Structure 1
Amino acid sequence: MFNHVSAVVLFVQDFEKCLAFYRDTLGLPVAQLEPKFAAFKMHDQDFALLHVSNAAEMVTAEIDGPPARGVNPLMLCARVQDVDAAYETLKAKGVEFTQGPTSQYWGLRTIYFKDPESNIWEFAQPLTPEQQARFSADNPPA
């Protein structure tokens, strides 16, 4: 049916706050900016923010309000070249992390943080074969 997601569009309540976060804090270049819409061109995928009022009109469906307290609407995952450098850069810009740099058993080094509307982001880089072997030796199965 399909084998590639061509775009991710987040429906947001506070458009200006989210725009500032993605443009200024994360440093994504703006490809298109309209009153309640912003698109950021990424490597091979489009990423956009759309105010919920415009989203409801566009998809001709009622868009639910913000998620229940403690429930995150989704998680977005992105690959970076250096997780530790990304962590330090974003930490210096005031980003609060739910988890700092961590080597995971599935072969990635990750960090996790939330955007202004509680969407969770994972930034990850693959562990090298040497890092994976060292991780496995230090963390044997229970």
Structure 2
Amino acid sequence: MWMTTAGWANKITEITLFVEDLHRSKVFYQETLELEIIYEDESCAVFDHGNTSINLLDQSNAHELIEPAQVGHLGDGARFQFTIQVPDVDRVCDELKLRGVKLLNGPITRPWGRRTACFSDPDGHLWEIAQVLE
């Protein structure tokens, strides 16, 4: 992998998501995905997701991090998807539905040997849950 040969770390340690309503998104990640907050202030909430921290940043504070790039807004269209490996996609989908999550698709058995489903958080960030089929 090019990152390891260049001397870079070989894992993603933080993901920052720019959100329109910090409180709404914080509730989603706490209650729906059952993640634990490890840091928060008036402009962000950081969640523990194993070896990766998910930082929800109020989008009004995002420009200073990425300028001169522009901050996209909800409705601009998907630009990426996060994938979480799970042992049983159907069971996780049932749990998500009980928590009020509307699946965008799935569960679907894919020709490349995975069973997947996709949903979005309140700001349109796409999440896929995937099960490796044997």
- TM tier, smaller: 0.7 to 0.9
- In structure 2, what is the equivalent of residue 57 of structure 1? 64
**Counterpart check, 1:77 vs 2:83:** yes
Matches within 5 A, 1:36-51: 36-51=43-58
Normalised to the residue count of structure 2, the TM-score between the two structures is 0.84
- In structure 2, what is the equivalent of residue 140 of structure 1? none
**Counterpart check, 1:7 vs 2:14:** yes
Deviation, structure 1 residue 82: 1.8
Of 69, 88, 91, the match for 2:97 = 91
Of 100, 109, 123, the match for 1:117 = 123
Of 13, 16, 25, the match for 2:23 = 16
For structure 1, the residue ranges without an aligned partner over 5 or more in a row are: 129-142
Of 98, 106, 120, the match for 1:100 = 106
Identity rate, percent: 32
Partner amino acid for 2:60? S
Normalised to the residue count of structure 1, the TM-score between the two structures is 0.80
Of 29, 37, 44, the match for 1:30 = 37
Q: Give the total of aligned pairs.
A: 127
Cα shift readout 1:13-38 (whole Å, capped 9, x = no counterpart)? 11111111111111111111211211
Q: How far apart, CA to CA, are the structure 1 residues paired with 2:79 and 2:56?
A: 14
Q: How far apart, CA to CA, are the structure 2 residues paired with 1:22 and 1:47?
A: 9
Deviation, structure 1 residue 100: 2.2
Q: Please say if residues 63 and 71 of structure 2, whose CA atoms lie closer than 8 Å, have aligned partners that are also in contact.
A: no
For structure 2, the residue ranges without an aligned partner over 5 or more in a row are: 1-5
Deviation, structure 1 residue 61: 4.2
Partner amino acid for 1:109? R
Deviation, structure 1 residue 59: 4.2
Deviation, structure 1 residue 57: 2.9
Change (3 A) 1:20 1:68: closer
Bigger Cα Rg: 1
Q: How far apart, CA to CA, are the structure 1 residues paired with 2:124 and 2:31?
A: 17
